Amino acid sequence: MHIKNTYKIFFVLSLFFVTYSFAEAKVKQICFKGNLCIEAEIADSLKEREKGLMFRDSLSDNKGMLFIFEQAGVHSFWMKNMRFPIDIIWMDEAGEVVYLSENVLPCGEKCEVLRPQLNVKQVLEVKAGFVKKHGIRLKNKVLLQP
């Protein structure tokens, strides 16, 4: 009986380690202008992109969520089930900022659909005020660190 319990504990700990390692791999450092960096959760699957930041209570100043799409396009976003305002930074395939949406508020019954004016490959959501505070502008380069 003791050996069976040991195997169960080993299995649970192994499962925890694999899950923890996978979660850690989904966070990357994003840098602007070379010296301004934040940690961003990566949403690169359809399920992760659909959920986004829904149902969360807040977002720290140095955190964000990076949505990565398989192909560049006019990808739409909305604030359904959001609990706080955000800034949205839209980037092309080269990581250049091509569109900005600032202080986007959560929606109620009807949600406005936000769309960039150009094709984008990545979209970064950050705390509202981030763009203004850090002087993020069109044509700024955004780098995803390995």
Q: What are the Cα distances from residue 60, in Å, to 36, 63, 65, 84, 128?
A: 15, 5, 11, 11, 10
User: What is the per-residue pLDDT for 51?
Assistant: 86
User: What is the per-residue pLDDT for 54?
Assistant: 85
- Chain centroid, CA 121 distance in Å: 13
pTM of the complete model: 0.79
Query: Would you state the structure tokens that stand for residue 56, as one six-digit string?
Result: 């969360």
Give me the phi and psi of 101, to 5 degrees please: -125, 115
User: What is the per-residue pLDDT for 6?
Assistant: 43
Taking the chain (146 residues) in runs of 10, the rounded mean pLDDT of each run is: 47 38 68 89 90 87 94 92 94 96 90 92 96 96 87
CB 44 within 8 A of CB 19: no
Q: For the purposes of burial, counting CB atoms within 10 Å of the CB of 106, is it exposed (0-12), middle (13-18) or buried (19 or more)?
A: middle
CB 102 within 8 A of CB 128: yes
User: What is the per-residue pLDDT for 34?
Assistant: 67
User: What is the per-residue pLDDT for 106?
Assistant: 93
User: What is the per-residue pLDDT for 4?
Assistant: 56
DSSP E strands in 1-146: the ranges are: 27-32, 36-43, 63-73, 86-91, 97-104, 120-127, 142-144
Q: Domains of the chain by range and CATH?
A: 28-144 (2.60.120.1140)
User: What is the per-residue pLDDT for 145?
Assistant: 83
User: What is the per-residue pLDDT for 19?
Assistant: 38
